[in-house]
Chains A and B, each alone.
Chain A
């Protein structure tokens, strides 16, 4: 399976993401510079964290118009797994691939720590290796992680089982303690916590690895040779 890690000017979790896929997951991975226009040949697309374009204007607002984003939108429409972490999540929100927006953290502090999450949906292509309801430990590192959407959008997210991860306690003011959501189709996941920083016990937690393993498992099921 071949993963793409999109690199914007100002991305800074791209190397962590690359390491998680290549060395911990053991799958094929390449960097794709934001100026590229094609994602042909890639089976899954990863948008890493960082401060794309210095977070100018709004987090993710400028990156959303990078040339590669058209290919990301096409890959999303084709049903390929797209994962945006932290700034990658913000880019997906700005691009309209996921509903809602990010505000400054409610207490204005940059939060960088391990957090307890609950896996709310265990049947997505990103979470099938977890138990539904499982508690996992994944670090966050963000200043703009205070998720917002209007009431109607929240109702839709709940009704369609799009809320995949929640914080076990309120850390940043996010509505309904939302830490990660998918699109309606379930193939685009945005999350503020960093699973790529939790892929080995040496890092304090290996709970993030199952997320990447889920993507591979799903892909293998889809591409199994049936006779």
Chain B
């Protein structure tokens, strides 16, 4: 079975995000005065073959070892079965 996995990596709360701050300032310049906070993260889309349980374990390991840096980043992920048409 194939699974589509969407991994979201974000900076931990409290870790300064200079990119987010710069984008927030630009949004204010565009007139979006109500924007109070911008945090920039990453989305990674993976396609993995395996059982749902094994995919879940693998993705967790990938995030812990490479996809996210646990010192400054948090991650979440969603696993969806690929439906062949």
Contacts and interface: CB of A to CB of B under 8 A. Distances in A.
A173 B18 contact: yes
A211 interface: no
Interface residues of A, number: 20
Interface string B57-79: 00000000011010110000000
Interface residues of B, number: 12
A94 B69 contact: yes
Contacts of B66: 57, 61, 65
B18 A146 contact: yes
A146 B19 CA distance: 13
Contacts of B82: none
A148 interface: yes
Interface stretch (A3-11, A38-46, A101-109): A101-109
A107 B18 contact: yes
B16 interface: yes
Contact of B71 (A104, A146, A149, A173): A149
Contacts of A107: 18
A37 B22 CA distance: 42
A94 B65 CA distance: 10
B16 A173 contact: yes
Interface in B4-36: 11, 15-19, 22
**In the complex, which of the residues B11, B69, B71 has the most CB atoms of chain A within 10 Å of its own CB atom?**
B71
B67 A103 contact: no
Contact of B69 (A58, A105, A106, A146): A58
Contacts of B67: 57
A122 interface: no
A93 B17 CA distance: 19
A148 B69 contact: no
Nearest 8 pairs of A and B residues by beta carbon: A101-B71, A101-B72, A104-B18, A108-B18, A101-B69, A106-B18, A108-B22, A58-B69
30 contacts: A57-B67, A58-B69, A61-B66, A93-B71, A94-B69, A99-B71, A101-B69, A101-B71, A101-B72, A103-B11, A103-B15, A103-B16, A103-B17, A103-B18, A104-B18, A104-B19, A105-B18, A106-B16, A106-B18, A107-B18, A108-B18, A108-B19, A108-B22, A146-B16, A146-B18, A148-B16, A148-B71, A148-B72, A149-B71, A173-B16
Interface of A: 57-58, 61, 65, 93-94, 99-101, 103-108, 146, 148-150, 173
Given A65-B66, A108-B22, 18 more contacts: A99-B71, A101-B69, A101-B71, A103-B11, A103-B17, A104-B19, A105-B18, A106-B16, A106-B18, A107-B18, A108-B18, A108-B19, A146-B18, A148-B15, A148-B16, A148-B71, A149-B71, A173-B18
